[in-house]
């Protein structure tokens, strides 16, 4: 029996980095018009959503592919501006809609019942280092359990949930949010592959674990340790278990990681921060201990941002935190605090703007990701007065990566790129480094970017179609999915030109 034609297309189109110019295939306009009319007749509401809702029938996607090929540049067609034509914009919108609809119709893997109380026989080894606020342990093999240190809240269940409501609200899954009281104060983060999600939570008695007296004696209640200051009960959250922290991953694989895997780590970090920024949340305690990585034998590592104890997530203030007294906490580790946060002075009406503070921390973390020390670790550079050219050279990476990291570490926040631009630049360096090297032939570059965007969006749609649940999607396709669902050709062009120090002008034709 001959294979289904869509299967052949899926086998032929593998998601991989772009190398060289895409040569489009041209078909006559009437064919695409016929396909377009057929697609419209099969769907109502958002274009193509109904068409891709039935994941058992891939034929419409194959027809979409055939119709898509018509949209290639014809022999005598040239780019007339730095923006897409209405026809191309419509095509891009429909391709993204098709990708979005396909992704949304892949079910989320169900989480088995976690329970409503602590089961000490399921607690395994400690994961990472204990912080001043919590400790994390392996739990029931595939999960991780976070135990909050409770010094002040009374031991009643509702009081405990209120005391730790910020992280519960920000990170809880939809299923868990129904049980969290008073969620209106904090931002509820939509799910994202690079942000850790709370799968369950419950209050229970603080246990005496094997390393407790050595690691966090003050957090223990006096019934367990005479010199402890903790309460008898505290709150526990359950999350998915990862291989280890970013710091552990880098130390373990030092000098053995390909540049593409390192770029994948930076790209996922920036995509996660973009998601936080869009939703009005600042992490404020980014460091390699607060970032987890799942190793992969054959593919890219999966990165998630976790530990939101210090995050700024109140809806009423957004990313501008009032700073009228020095008793207000600026956040976590001072080594990763952006210059505008470190130098902030309290006073009436004063505020600290955190809109680009996490971005600066990501630039510092990039040094660790690429195997070097934190650029301010030796304290020879004054964080409040340095010039970005005074920072240690980032070795062993392409020049465009150095440009990106320098941009993230600009001392003044106005000189840093928007986090969206930084994430887009990192994505393009990961998937299409050849395109990022071109900037002086704008017409050629624009057409190449258009064709790349169209090809990659359709290719990914066909690739993820076959997966039975979200967790089965390989990390590299998940990274690309995060990107292609949110970007457009103009943003890609802006990121590429920014990497070359060229400010994009949408009104010019050169």
Structure tokens at 350: 């004063």
Report the distance separating Cα 166 and Cα 354, nearest Å. 18
Q: Are 309 and 301 within 8 A, CB to CB?
A: no
DSSP assignment letter at 49: H
Under DSSP, the state recorded for 507 is T
Which pair of structure tokens corresponds to residue 179? 């049980």
Catalytic residue among 97, 285, 358, 448: 285
Within 216-321, residue ranges assigned H as helices are: 246-252, 259-278
The secondary structure of 72-85 as a DSSP string is SPPTT----SSS--
Residues 219 and 207 sit within 8 Å (Cβ to Cβ) = no
Question: How is 81-124 classified by DSSP, letter by letter?
Answer: SSS--HHHHHHHHHHHHHHHHHHHTSPPPPPPP--SS--GGGEE
For the record, the structure tokens of 38 come out as: 């057929």
- 398-405's contacts with Cβ under 8 Å and 24+ in sequence apart are 398/259, 398/429, 398/433, 400/425, 400/429, 400/433, 400/436, 400/437, 400/499, 401/263, 401/370, 401/429, 403/499, 403/501, 404/366, 404/429, 404/499, 405/363, 405/366, 405/367
Token reading at 433:
């480094």
Angle 253-368-487 from CA coordinates, rounded to 5°? 100
For residue 166, give the DSSP letter.
H
Are 408 and 386 in contact by the 8 Å Cβ rule? The answer is no
Which residue in the block uniquely carries the two structure tokens 């969006």?
457
Instruction: Verify whether residue 415 is a known catalytic residue.
Output: no
Residues 6+ apart with CB under 8 A from 81: 506, 509
- Give the pair of three-digit tokens for residue 47: 């274009």
Q: Alpha carbon of 366 to those of 166, 337, 397: distances in Å?
A: 28, 15, 11
Give catalytic residues, as residue numbers.
285
């Amino acid at each position: 029996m001959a294979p289904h034609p869509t299967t052949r297309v899926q086998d032929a189109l593998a998601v991989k980095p772009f190398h060289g110019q895409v040569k489009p295939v041209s078909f006559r306009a009437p064919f695409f018009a016929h396909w377009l009319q057929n697609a419209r007749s099969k769907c109502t509401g958002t274009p193509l959503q109904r068409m891709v809702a039935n994941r058992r029938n891939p034929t419409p996607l194959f027809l979409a592919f055939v119709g898509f090929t018509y949209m290639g540049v014809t022999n005598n067609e040239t780019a007339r501006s730095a923006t897409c034509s209405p026809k191309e914009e419509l095509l891009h919108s429909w391709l993204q809609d098709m990708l979005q609809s396909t992704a949304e119709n892949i079910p989320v893997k169900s989480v088995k019942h976690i329970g409503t109380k602590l089961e000490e026989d399921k607690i395994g080894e400690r994961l990472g280092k204990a912080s001043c606020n919590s400790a994390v342990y392996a739990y029931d093999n595939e999960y991780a359990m976070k135990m909050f240190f409770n010094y002040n809240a009374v031991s009643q269940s509702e009081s405990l949930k209120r005391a730790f409501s910020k992280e519960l609200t920000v990170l809880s899954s939809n299923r868990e949010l129904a049980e969290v009281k008073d969620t209106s104060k904090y931002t509820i983060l939509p799910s994202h592959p690079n942000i850790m999600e709370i799968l369950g939570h419950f209050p229970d008695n603080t246990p005496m674990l094997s390393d407790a007296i050595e690691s966090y004696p003050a957090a223990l209640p006096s019934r367990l340790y005479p010199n402890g200051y903790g309460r008898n009960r505290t709150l526990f959250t359950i999350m998915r278990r990862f291989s280890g922290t970013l710091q552990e991953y880098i130390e373990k694989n030092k000098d053995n990681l390909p540049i593409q895997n390192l770029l994948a780590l930076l790209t996922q970090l920036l995509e996660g921060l973009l998601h936080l920024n869009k939703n009005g949340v600042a992490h404020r305690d980014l460091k390699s201990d607060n970032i987890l990585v799942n190793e992969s034998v054959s593919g890219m590592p999966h990165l998630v941002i976790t530990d939101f104890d210090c995050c700024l997530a109140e809806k009423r203030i957004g990313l501008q935190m009032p700073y009228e007294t020095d008793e207000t906490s600026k956040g976590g580790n001072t080594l990763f605090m952006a210059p505008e946060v470190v130098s902030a002075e309290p006073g009436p009406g004063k505020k600290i703007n955190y809109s680009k503070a996490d971005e600066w921390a990501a630039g510092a973390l990039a040094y660790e990701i690429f195997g070097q020390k934190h650029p301010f670790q030796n304290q020879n550079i004054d964080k409040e007065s340095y010039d970005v050219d005074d920072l240690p050279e980032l070795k062993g990476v392409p020049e465009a990566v150095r440009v990106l990291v320098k941009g993230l570490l600009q001392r003044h926040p106005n000189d840093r790129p928007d986090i969206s631009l930084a994430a887009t630049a990192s994505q393009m360096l990961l998937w299409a480094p050849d395109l990022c090297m071109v900037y002086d032939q704008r017409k050629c570059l624009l057409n190449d970017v258009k064709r790349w965007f169209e090809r990659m969006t359709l290719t990914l749609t066909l690739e993820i179609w076959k997966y039975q649940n979200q967790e089965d999607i390989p990390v590299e396709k998940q990274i690309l999915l995060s990107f292609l669902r949110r970007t457009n050709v103009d943003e890609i062009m802006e990121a590429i030109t920014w990497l070359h120090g060229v400010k994009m002008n949408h009104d010019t034709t050169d």
